[in-house]
Amino acid sequence: MGKEEATPDAGEWVRLMLRIRDERDRAAFAALFRHFAPRVKGFLMKSGADAALAEECAQDVMTTLWNKAHLFDPSRASVATWIFTIARNRRIDLLRRDRRPEPEDLPWGPEAEPDQEDALALQQESERLRAALKALPEAQRELIERAYWGDVSHSEIAAETGLPLGTIKSRIRLALDRLRHAMK
Q: What is the pLDDT of residue 92?
A: 81
Q: What is the pLDDT of residue 145?
A: 83
Instruction: Please give the tally of structural domains in the chain.
Output: 2
Domain identity same for 92 and 24:
yes
Nearest to 175 by CA among 120, 123, 134, 122: 134
Domain identity same for 21 and 92:
yes
In a domain, 37, yes or no: yes
pLDDT 10s digit of each residue in the chain, 184 long? 444 455 667 789 999 999 999 999 999 999 999 999 999 999 888 877 888 888 989 999 999 999 999 998 888 888 988 998 898 888 888 777 766 555 555 555 565 666 777 777 778 887 888 888 888 888 888 888 888 777 778 888 888 888 898 888 988 899 888 888 888 7
Which of 76, 99, 122 represents a domain boundary (last residue)? 99
C-beta pairs of 166-175 under 8 Å, 24+ apart in sequence = 168/143, 171/139, 171/140, 171/143, 172/140, 172/143, 172/144, 172/147, 174/140, 175/136, 175/140, 175/141, 175/143, 175/144
In a domain, 67, yes or no: yes
Domain identity same for 24 and 94:
yes
C-beta pairs of 33-38 under 8 Å, 24+ apart in sequence = 33/62, 35/7, 35/8, 36/62, 36/65, 36/80, 36/83, 37/61, 37/62
Domain region containing 72:
10-99
Q: What is the pLDDT of residue 7?
A: 63
Instruction: Say which CATH number the domain at 140 has.
Output: 1.10.10.10
